[in-house]
Structure 1
Amino acid sequence: MMTSQDDVRELMARAADELNAATNALNQANALFGILEGMIGRGDPAEAFPLAQIGSELTANYGERAAAEADFFAGVSNGQ
């Protein structure tokens, strides 16, 4: 049987995993946008477009994931 302390540890581990995933995604997006900035500065906007799409999808996906997790944790903290 899980104790409330076990539940708290499990929730803390889940939160840590989600924060790490979001951090990694934002670091990747930051790297992509840095590359894009250099490409556009050299006059390569057509070549930059696929990378812009990747960055857009990456940040949108992790934004949605983070919002869903925030809703989950808000529900847990409110006893739902």
Structure 2
Amino acid sequence: MAIAQEARNAAVNNIDETSHRHQGKLSWLWVMAYALVVFFMIHAPRSGEAFKELIDERKSSRYRSAFPSIILTPVIDYP
């Protein structure tokens, strides 16, 4: 998981998610990216728990999304 840790350690990340069929079931493909790294994660529910797993809440990065309503954590910095 070196890519995940590299992304989580970035000062600012851009994140998004989209629906994705995984083994015939609806899942969500999450992406977290900055200039040097892109990290993808597939998670069954579209939830705050999935987002928290993506970002690893122990990190202190800032996050940006085109859709602020999907973000469920106080560490967000919107443009």
TM range (shorter): under 0.3
Q: Give the structure with the higher percent strand.
A: 2
The TM-score, its normalising length taken from structure 2, stands at: 0.23
Greater C-alpha radius of gyration: 1
Q: Give the structure with the higher percent helix.
A: 1
The TM-score, its normalising length taken from structure 1, stands at: 0.22
